[in-house]
Amino acid sequence: PELVEVEAGGTVRLHCDVDEIRTYCYTVVWTRINPRTRKMSTCKFISTEHATLQNVCSINIQNATVDDSGTYYCSVIHGKSIYIGNGSTLIVRKEKSTAPPPIEILWSSDKIHWPIVPLTCLVSGVVPQQARVFWLVDGEEKSGLTGSIWTKDGDAVIESTQNQVLVPAEVWERGAPCTCVVEFDGRIASKSVQRQGTTFTHEESGDVCAV
């Protein structure tokens, strides 16, 4: 699967489709990319499959911790070729939150007179694979550019999502509302910003609605 989420202490089962080459599962190598450092390491997991030719090979991660989060790849050598899977992103959370994710809208005051005003929406504690983030600029939907960023959460550092949109200066100057919309875990949250004269105003959606 592309994305797997589990609470800490749970068990995760990842699968590797080797149908085209049919191999012994003990020959499959599993690697993990650390989401923060982007470094790849070899996993020490042992396949749960028997030593017979298989179409799908699997591994279990038991008693998962937050440190197990990352993107996992399976690979196998067959003849003179190396086959690598598409990868599965695993997110291990301490607990499932029912509150909407914190949203901030950032901009640089020294760029408000540029032809284009860049606005950045920061969604803390949510990775890009978990949420859809987009903008409503003067009522028109804009996809923006979504990426991953690391932010501080007390003494910890967590992965978060940012989305940047470029607003034409004439739209910004006349005080058009710019709203960051976050669809996450079947819910919607939003936060708006607009310029009024020489001041800036914020408005945040306090309601969380089912999609």
- Residue-range domain boundaries for the chain: 3-93, 103-210
Among the CATH numbers 3.90.1640.30, 2.60.40.10, 3.40.50.300, 1.10.10.10, which is that of 3-93?
A: 2.60.40.10
Instruction: Give dist(CA 85, CA 91) in Å, integer.
Output: 18
Question: Measuring CA to CA, which residue among 18, 19, 20, 14 is closest to residue 1?
Answer: 14
Render pLDDT for 26-74 as a digit per residue (tens, 0 to 9): 888 999 998 777 889 998 765 555 555 668 888 889 898 888 888 999 9
Q: Please, which pLDDT band fits residue 179 given cuts at 50, 70 and 90? A: very high
CATH superfamily of this structure's domain 103-210: Immunoglobulins (2.60.40.10)
Question: According to the model, what pLDDT value does residue 198 have?
Answer: 45
Instruction: Give dist(CA 119, CA 166) in Å, integer.
Output: 6
Q: What is the CB neighbour count within 10 angstroms for residue 211?
A: 9
Render pLDDT for 133-165 as a digit per residue (tens, 0 to 9): 999 999 999 999 999 887 766 666 678 899 999
Question: Measuring CA to CA, which residue among 178, 180, 205, 171 is closest to residue 194?
Answer: 178
Give the burial string for 107-146 (b: 16+ CB within 10 Å, else e).
Answer: beeeeeeeeebebbbbbbebbbebbebbbbbbeeebebeb
Q: Please, which pLDDT band fits residue 124 given cuts at 50, 70 and 90? A: confident
pTM of this structure:
0.63
Instruction: Give dist(CA 142, CA 139) in Å, integer.
Output: 9
Section 130-134 average pLDDT: 92
C-alpha torsion 63→64→68→72, nearest 10: 100
Asked whether the domain spanning 103-210 has the same topology as the one spanning 3-93, the reply is yes
User: Does 88 score more than 80 pLDDT?
Assistant: yes
Instruction: Give dist(CA 88, CA 65) in Å, integer.
Output: 16
- CA distances to 33, 36, 192 from 67, in Å: 11, 11, 34
Dihedral sign from CA coordinates of 41, 44, 66, 58: positive
Question: According to the model, what pLDDT value does residue 171 have?
Answer: 93
